[in-house]
Amino acid sequence: MREFLRSTRRSMTSSGLLGLAIVLTVVVCAVLAPTIAPHDPAQHNLRMRVLPPMWLDGGTAAFPLGTDQLGRDVLSRLVHSARVSVIVGTLGTVVALGIGLVLGTVAGYFGGAVDAVISRVLDTFMAIPFIILALAVIAVVGPQRGASGVVLLVVVLGVSGWADFARVARGETMAARTLLFVESARALGQRAGVILIRHILPNIAAPIIVLGALQVGTVIIAEASLSFLGLGIQPPAVTWGTMLADGRGYVATAWWLATFPGVAITLTVVGSVLLGDWLRDALDARSR
Amino acid sequence: MLPYILRRVLQMIPPLIGLTVILFVLLRIGGEPVAHLVRPEASPEEIALVRAAYGFDRPLVEQYVRQVSRIIVGDFGTSVRFRSPALPLVLERLPATLELTAAALLVALLVALPVGVLAAVYRNSWFDFIVTITTTVGRGMPNFWLGLMLMLVFAVQLRWLPASGRDEPLAVVLPAVTIGVSIATVLVRVLRTAMVEALGHDFVRTARAKGLRTWTVVTKHALRTSLISVVTVIGLQTAWIIGGSVVVEEVFAWPGSGRLMLTAVLARDLSVVMAGVFVFALFVMVINLLVDLSYSWLDPRIQYA
């Protein structure tokens, strides 16, 4: 572990640091949203409708990024939106990672008919665009409100996004399977489950973790897209996607409503991508 | 070549079967669709009658086989909203989607080829640095938001281009640029890496040594071998591109299959949704087939037995 930390420090590049800083900021916003947001994100204030950001004429420091068509504070809504993105982004990735890891390692380890079946399923899921599959599931189940809406999105995005994890886990397991200590463990008569968890999993963890860091960004964009289309998180819950959907109608009159949520999404995803790229380089360097 | 194509087409059958299973399971998650077919106050006998009429009382395997046999002849059921068969509805809007996808690909290549090549030739220059930053930001940008921003600038502020629809010939520009730019951010990175590697190869040094002009070496020798990775990435990205274009179609009110599918999802018009999923997945498979076939054309060393 100490060795890992040392190599981590050595290879911590400026872009990796930037990514880490962005991701930490978003997570802090998500956790402390009620404390750091200057206003209640749902507070209507009809006298303060459609105020521009503070640096423009008519803007006020009380609403640094302006207000929307109902007089709600844009900054507070942005900060609160981080919650849904962080929760859906991480849990959606964890679900996808879990499904992909189990199916991929099983296919790679046992090979034969098991591999053939899982691989065909994999081919099928690779051919269906992520968002389109998610749309189809939502069409059948219907968009949900409140907490069950978040659960639905996590499940939908997890079930639609596992294919990449399974593909990588399968390939890595097939390679790890031929390692000498895995073969000896098998020769000693250890059970497949034990070998998979004790010996193979630690050896295939690195690429899976990297893929996970990158997938968080993909899931966040997918959540934003679905919420933007009115099929994800439902109002009154606030997310960057629903903010964009609201702001879309005011593109001509209040540009900030459709601009800031997009900046927030872009920054967050870039942060997780930079972190993922850095993780990949760091873990590569360690194995070299 | 022909046997290879045949084998490759046959390989598409298992995923297609998988697709029909997924569609069947999906339709079943929502429960039996009987509820939509009977009056709310229907008696148990009436419900049983309707179930029998639609075959819901048969074993699941038999229902699945029946569904597959209908899909094979292109029957996905009737759209609740349009009151006409679902598949033709999707197919008649497909040309608009294909037009947009092709235009987007054109934009992507027009941007990515020169930028990627120049970034590789002048690597570690300020140009390369700016390209790296731009593509990193581009990776994080949701393309529907980029679309909104382009619409804000070029349609609302400058009034150069139409904001939505497909009535004017120029209407394709904004949605195509939106999708094209997001493809290009990926392609530039891949092309740059491949070009940097290719420029270090012996055959490039030989070409330089025999006195060819730099530009000829770069375009004729290095670029040609690098195109393989570009095409591979286009293939890998197809599913992602198609998914993203659905949202962009909605932003620009582009009357394609994607937008039709979205309105069908909102109206819970399941036959159209399922037909849409099927058509899009088939489209992705065909593109991947074409990508595989293009390899031997791009690199004559690759031969298919």
Q: Specify if A288 maps to a domain.
A: no
> How many beta-carbon pairs under 8 angstroms link A with B?
153
Q: Which of A116, A81, A98, A57 is nearest to A260 (CA)?
A: A81
Residues of A in contact with B80 (CB under 8 A): none
pLDDT digits (tens, 9 = 90+) for B13-52: 888 888 888 888 888 776 666 666 667 777 778 778 877 7
Its ipTM equals 0.84
Burial code of B15-33, b = ≥16 C-beta within 10 A, e = fewer?
bbebbbebbbebbeebeee
Q: Specify if A276 maps to a domain.
A: yes
The first and second tokens of residue B130, run together, are 């700016």
Taking CB atoms and an 8 Å limit, are B273 and A231 in contact across chains? Answer: no
Q: How many domains does chain A have?
A: 1
**Which residues touch A255 (CB under 8 Å, ≥6 apart)?**
B152
- Per the model's pLDDT, the better-predicted residue between B39 and A102 turns out to be A102
Taking CB atoms and an 8 Å limit, are A269 and B285 in contact across chains? Answer: no
Q: Which of B20, B37, B192, B203 is nearest to B114 (CA)?
A: B192
Taking CB atoms and an 8 Å limit, are B156 and A136 in contact across chains? Answer: no
Burial code of A25-38, b = ≥16 C-beta within 10 A, e = fewer?
ebbebbeebeeebe
Torsion of CA A191, A194, A196, A197, to 10 degrees: 170
pLDDT digits (tens, 9 = 90+) for B94-116: 999 999 999 999 999 999 999 99
**What domains can be seen in chain B, in order of their start residue?**
2-72 (no CATH), 86-298 (1.10.3720.10)
Domain that holds residue A85: 2-283
Taking CB atoms and an 8 Å limit, are A139 and B270 in contact across chains? Answer: yes
- Per the model's pLDDT, the better-predicted residue between B261 and A63 turns out to be B261
* Interface test mutation site (partner B, options A221, A231, A246, A280, max chain B beta carbons within 10 A): A221
Taking CB atoms and an 8 Å limit, are A124 and B288 in contact across chains? Answer: no
pLDDT digits (tens, 9 = 90+) for A117-159: 998 888 888 888 888 888 888 888 888 887 888 898 999 899 8
- Judged against a pLDDT cut of 80, whether residue A245 lies above it is answered with yes
Please report which confidence band the pLDDT of residue B220 belongs to, taking 50, 70 and 90 as the band edges: confident
**Residue A31: which CATH number?**
1.10.3720.10
User: Which chain B residue shows the shortest CA-CA distance from A251?
Assistant: B152
pLDDT digits (tens, 9 = 90+) for B6-16: 888 888 888 88
| Residue B243 touches chain A, beta carbons under 8 Å | yes
Q: DSSP labels for B79-111?
A: -TTTSSBHHHHHHHHHHHHHHHHHHHHHHHHHH
pLDDT digits (tens, 9 = 90+) for B192-209: 988 888 888 888 788 878
Q: What is the pLDDT of residue A288?
A: 42
Give the range among A186-195, A269-278, B37-46, B161-170 with minimum mean pLDDT.
B37-46
